[in-house]
Structure 1
C-alpha cells in the first residue's frame, strides 16, 4: 500500500472512474487534492477500495470532489464510511459570509445597537454608583469595618509611587510652557510675562490636568486590571461567600485614595512645573531662578490655586469610578481584562477633559476666569 495519496483514471462503457490509492491523511493528501481540483472531465464514480488509512481531511477531500461531480463513492472501508457520513452530515450550503444589508439600513441598525448598548451601560453604571454610595454609607455607619490598611496601601500606589513620574513630567511641561511662551512673547518685548503664563497655567490647568491623565494611565488601569483579574479568578465571589463585601474591601479604599491624593499630586505637579519654568527662564531668558519664584507669588491670584484644588478630587473620583466599574464588568476570559482596562483609561481621560472644559466655563462665569 502506498504511503502517499494518488489516483488513476479508468474508463469503461462510457463511465469514468477515479481510483484512489494510498493513505488519505492530512500529511499525504496535498498532491491528491491539487490533482483532483485540476480535473475538468466529468467523473461518475470514485473507487476507494485501494485506499489505506483515512482521517477527516481525507474524507472531506473525497466528499467535496464527489459532490462537485455528482459521483458515486464505492469500495469505502468501514472507517471511511463513518468519516464520510460525518462529513456529509456536517456539510452546509449556507454562505460563508451572510449577506450584508444596504448601506443606509446597516448604518441605522449599527447606530441603534450602539444607542441601546449605551443606554444599558448607563443603567449598569448608575447601579454600580448606587452600590458604591450604599457601601460608603455602611462604612460611615460602622467605621470599624473600614479597611484602613487597604486605604494606606492605595495611598502608596496612587500617590507616593507616582511622585517620580508626575514630577518629571510636570518639570518638563513647565520647561515647554516657559520656552514656547517666551518665544511668542519675545515678538512683543514682553518676555517678563512668561512668569505669569507659566504660573497661572500650572496652578489653574496643566498641573491638575496632566496629573489626572497620568493617574488615569497608572492607577485607573491598575484598578481595572486588579479587580478584573479577581473577578475572573472568582476571588470576588469567594469574598462574598465568606461574608466580606467586595465594594467595601476593594472599591471604597481605591476611590477614597484617588479622591484624597489628587489634590496633593496636582499641587505637587504645579510646583514642579513652575520650577521647570524657572529653570529654563534662568538659562535662556536671563531671569534669575529665585526672582522667577518670588514673582510667582505676586502675579498668580490665589483663586487660581483654589480652581486647581477644587477640580482635582472630582477628577480623582471620575478616574477611580471608571477603573473600578470596568474591573467589575470583566467576565468570560482574560482577553476581557485587557479590553476593560483599555476602556477604563479611555473613559477616565475623556471624562477628565470634558469636566475640565465644564469647569473652565463655570469658573469663568463666576468671575474666576
Structure 2
C-alpha cells in the first residue's frame, strides 16, 4: 500500500509542498495536521506538487480548499492528475470579497420586488391558461355526454344536487332572510326621512330579486361547495384514487367534474327562487317593523310596481354562478399535490377564487342588463 507522506522544499522564491501516496478520506489525522501546520505559516508563494499522489478523492480536495480559503492562500497546483484537475475545475475556489457580496445583496434586494411581480404575473398567466384548458376539457366531456346520454352519471348527479344544493338550503334561506331584512330596514329609514316611505317597497323588492337573493345565495354556496369539491378531489389525488381511475381508463372529468358542475347549474335556479322568497319575506318584516305597513298593503304595492323582469334577471344569473363555483372548486382540487397541507391551502384559494368570479359575473350581468334597459 502506498505510504502517505509530505515533502516540503523551501527556496528564496517559493515553498513547494509535495504530496505523496494516498490522500483521501482514509488519510490519518496526523498527516492532515502536518499539512495544516505548513499552511498555517502562510508562505508567500506556495506550490503544491501532486506528481507523486497515488490516490486522491473529492473529500480531501474539499478539505484542502477549505484550508487554503481559511488561510487566505492561492497556491499553484502542478502535476495534478486528470481526476484532480476535473475536481478542481468543478469546485469554485474564488469567492467574492465582503464588499462585493454586500453589493450583490443590495442589488438583489432592489430587484426583489420586480422579481416577485414578474413571478406573480407568470404564475397568474399560467394558471389562467390551465383554467381555460380545464374548462375546455369539461366542455368536451359535456358534449360527449350529450352525444352519449348513458355516460351521464344520474346517481352521482342527484347525489351532488342534494349534497351541494338542497343541504345548503337552510343556511342559504336564513342568510337571505337576514340580509333582506337588514338592507330593507336601512333603505326604509332613508326613504322615510326623504318623505317617500312607500318607495321602500319597490326599491328593496327589486334589489332583493335582482341582486341580494342570487348574490347572497351564491356567496353561501361558494363557501360551502367550492371548498367541499376541492377537498374531496384533492384527497382522492393524495390517496391515488385519481391514478387508479386513469389506470382503469375512467375519465375524471366524466366521473368527478361533470356531475358536480351540472348539479350546481341545475340546483342554483331552484335555490335562487327560494332565496328570493325569503329575502322578500325579510323585507316585509322590516317594513312592517319600521313603517307599520301591513303585509297586505306590501303585497298589493309589490304587484303594482315590480314586474317579472326583475325576477328573471336574478334567475338568469344563477346557472352561471353555479358553473363558476363548481369549476373553480374542481380545478383547485386537481391541483392538490404532495401532502395534506396543500389541501387546506388550495381549499382556501378555491373559496377566494369562487367569490371573485361570483362578484365579477354579477358585475358583468349588471352592466349588460343596464345597457339593455332590462
Both proteins in one fold, TM over 0.5 = yes
Q: Count residues in correspondence.
A: 278
For 1:44-59, list aligned pairs within 5 A: none
Correspondence for 2:200: 194
CA 141–100 in structure 1, closer or farther in 2 if over 3 Å, else same: farther
| TM-aligned CA deviation for residue 104 of structure 1 | 4.3
Partner Cα distance (1:173, 1:109) in 2:
43
Change (3 A) 1:255 1:100: farther
- Whole-angstrom CA distance in 2 between matches of 1:311 and 1:197: 20
Residue matched to 2:118: 112
Q: Which residue of 2 aligns with 1:174?
A: 180
For residue 30 of structure 1, what is the aligned residue in structure 2?
none
Match of 2:314 among 294, 308, 314: 308
- The answer to whether the aligner puts 1:122 opposite 2:158 as a matched pair is no
Structure 1 runs, 4 residues or longer, greater than 2 Å off: 98-104
Q: Does 2:304 correspond to 1:291?
A: no
User: In 1, distance between residues paired with 2:269 and 2:177?
Assistant: 18
Describe the shift of the 1:363–1:103 C-alpha distance in structure 2 as closer, same or farther (beyond 3 A).
farther
Following superposition, the deviation at residue 101 of structure 1 comes to 4.0
- Deviation (angstroms), 1:229: 0.7
Partner residue of 1:209 out of 212, 215, 228: 215
Aligned to 1:229: 235
Distance 2:183 2:203 in 1: 8
Alignment of 1:21-36 (within 5 A): none
Is 1:278 aligned to 2:281, yes or no?
Answer: no
CA contact (8 A) 2:231 2:347 kept: yes
Cα shift at 1:295: 2.3
RMSD of aligned Cα (Å):
2.2
Q: Deviations over 1:217-236 (max 9, x none)?
A: 00111011111111111111
* Unaligned 5+ runs, structure 1: 1-66, 71-92
Q: Distance in 2 between matches of 1:216 and 1:165?
A: 13
Q: TM-score, structure 1 length as denominator?
A: 0.71
For 2:339, the equivalent position in structure 1 comes to: 333
Distance apart, 1:102 and its partner CA? 5.0
The alignment partner of 1:332 has SS state of: coil
Distance in 1, Cα, partners of 2:172 & 2:166: 10
State the secondary structure of the residue aligned to 1:159.
helix
Q: 1:158 aligns with which of 164, 186, 190?
A: 164
1: distance between equivalents of 2:158 and 2:146? 17
| Equivalent position of 1:147 in the other structure | 153
Distance 1:168 1:142 in 2: 40
- 1: distance between equivalents of 2:324 and 2:282? 29
Per the alignment, in what secondary structure is the counterpart of residue 198 of structure 2? helix
Q: Deviations over 1:174-215 (max 9, x none)?
A: 111221111111111111111112210110011101111111
Larger mean CA deviation between 236-245 and 201-210 belongs to 236-245
Shift of 1:290: 2.8
Normalising by structure 2, what TM-score? 0.71
- Name 1:268's counterpart in structure 2: 274
Q: Secondary structure of the residue that 1:333 maps to in structure 2?
A: coil
Looking at structure 1, the residues matched to 137 and 106 of structure 2 have their Cα atoms a distance apart, in angstroms, of 42
| Aligned mates of 1:329, 1:234 — CA distance in 2 | 13
Q: Which runs of 5+ in 2 are unaligned?
A: 1-66, 71-94, 99-103
C-alpha distance 100-240 of structure 1, shift in aligned 2 (>3 A): farther
1-side partners of 2:192 and 2:149: how far apart? Answer: 58
1:76-91 equivalent positions in 2, closer than 5 A: none
